[in-house]
Amino acid sequence: MEFELMEWFQLAVRWIHMITGIAWIGASFYFVWLDMNLTPPEKEGCKDKAGVGGELWAVHGGGFYEVQKYRLAPPAIPQTLHWFKYEAYFTWISGFILLTILYYFGADIYLIDRSIADISTDAAILIGLGSIIGGWIIYDLLCKSPLINNQMIFGLVLFTLLTLASFGLSQVFSGRGAYIHVGAIMGTIMVANVLMIIIPGQVALVSAAKKGEPPDPVYGLRAKQRSLHNNYFTLPVLFIMISNHYPMTYGNPYGWLLLAGISLVGVLVRHFFNMKNQGRAKQGFILLPIAFVLFFAIAYAAAPKSEDAPTEKISFATVETIIHERCTSCHAAKPTNTDFETPPKGVRLETSAQIAREKTRIKQQTVDTKTMPLGNLTQMTDEERKIIRWWISQGASTD
């Protein structure tokens, strides 16, 4: 019963994470689009246009909307002023709870792979938390350095540092653990931008406006800058959120490099849409085919290389013994591994028919990517993986 309650709790938190994430990303995308599509007011001298720096008309849901953006602040702050912050906060909180449950409480399963680094659970958790906190500190220092004055160089430096972080984490964590921590670094940067830069800047603007003082424009410029950074982080973070379903990415020996390449694809796609929103779609259109070619070049490079199988036939009895010794402790109707009450993803490998039916999944996860067994808890050897590969290449006969 306790296990089932935990499963339901994980489901609830994951659902909350998805809902709040959609709300946050949707608001972020909308306001970046809005800012890039504002046009100068048509009647600058009119009373209702005083101080307005840009406006936009839109139609949606059967109604017309007029949006105005002030250069600094309106003559008077309205009684009702909508803020956008809790979507970001609850996305991060729910994400951190999931990280803690799955990767810290379940470190031996999802975070640590002792064939990569034989480290303790405490050390793994400290490294994970240190990378998340350190990521924000380094990013914030970069934003306060002269590099921020050249967005191209700033972006290249930041991309390089995140790639190095991905490489470093892949040397101590499982591929899946490394990916999720790179995502946590970027997600934490995004929410810290909201909490520590964007919202305090907005508070300062509102406070000055209420006092009748001229607002300092630096707050608005800094908030806009960090919002744009968040905009470019979004697609790589979304990829990492779904990557655990695709072990051919994080399970690849060069998974850190794949992550860098796929993140670059996301940045290129996001940059195209930003250019399109600025009315420069024709200039930016080349980015889409570049992203398309890059994505499939990565997929081709990541494909497992074939190798010659031995001429002698691999007996199913040999394969069955390996599966039972290395896999069935989890993948059984009643797993003997106490971390699981039911077989993960409902996959059972107890009978010859079940093993044959799952041959494609077995090949992908135990041979091609080596992501199974989880954390290699049962210590499957490379030789055993080769035997399974050869058996499958020979037709996966159970005779």
Rounded to the nearest integer, the mean pLDDT of the chain is 89
Instruction: Determine whether 171 is exposed, middle or buried from the number of CB atoms within 10 Å of its CB (0-12, 13-18, 19+).
Output: exposed
- How much is the pLDDT for 240? 96
Q: Do 43 and 191 belong to one domain? A: no
Q: Do 62 and 169 sit in the same domain of this protein?
A: no
| 275 burial level (CB within 10 Å; 0-12, 13-18, 19+) | middle
Residue 308 has what pLDDT?
65
Q: Is 332 within a domain? A: yes
Looking at per-residue pLDDT, the higher value among 386 and 166 belongs to 166
- Do residue 173 and residue 111 come from a single domain? yes
The predicted model gives 44-67 an average pLDDT of 80
Chain segment 134-173, per-residue pLDDT in tens = 999 999 999 999 999 999 999 999 999 999 999 999 999 9
| Per-residue pLDDT at 307 exceeds 70 | no
Is there a domain that residue 376 lies in? Answer: yes
Q: Is residue 191 part of a domain?
A: yes
User: What is the model's pTM?
Assistant: 0.86
Read off the pLDDT band of 289 (50, 70, 90): very high
The answer to whether the beta carbons of residues 38 and 69 sit under 8 Å apart is yes
Q: Number of folded domains in the chain? A: 3
Q: Do 61 and 89 fall into the same domain?
A: no
Cα separation, 90 vs 20, in Å, equals 6
The angle that helices 316-326 and 382-393 make with each other, rounded to 10 degrees, is: 140
Q: Are 283 and 364 in contact (CB under 8 A)?
A: no
Q: Let me know whether 28 and 43 are in one domain.
A: no
Q: Assess whether 64 and 152 both reside in one domain.
A: no
* Model confidence band, residue 386 (pLDDT cutoffs 50, 70, 90): confident
Token digits of residue 133: 């906190």
Average pLDDT over residues 75-86: 86
Residue 309: the pLDDT is 65
Q: Is residue 79 part of a domain?
A: no
- 159 and 66 inside one domain: no
Q: Are residues 94 and 215 in the same domain?
A: yes
- In terms of domains, do 115 and 47 share one? no
10 with 141, same domain: the answer is yes
Could you tell me if residue 281 is inside a domain?
no
Query: Is residue 350, in this structure, part of any structural domain at all?
Result: yes
Q: Express each pLDDT in 195-225 by its tens digit.
A: 999 999 889 888 888 888 887 888 888 988 9
Question: Which of 237, 257, 291 marks a domain boundary?
Answer: 237
- Domain extent, residue 211, equals 2-32+84-237
Q: Are 47 and 160 in a shared domain?
A: no
166 shares its domain with 220: yes
Looking at the domain assignment, is residue 341 inside a domain?
A: yes
Let me know if residue 278 belongs to a domain.
no
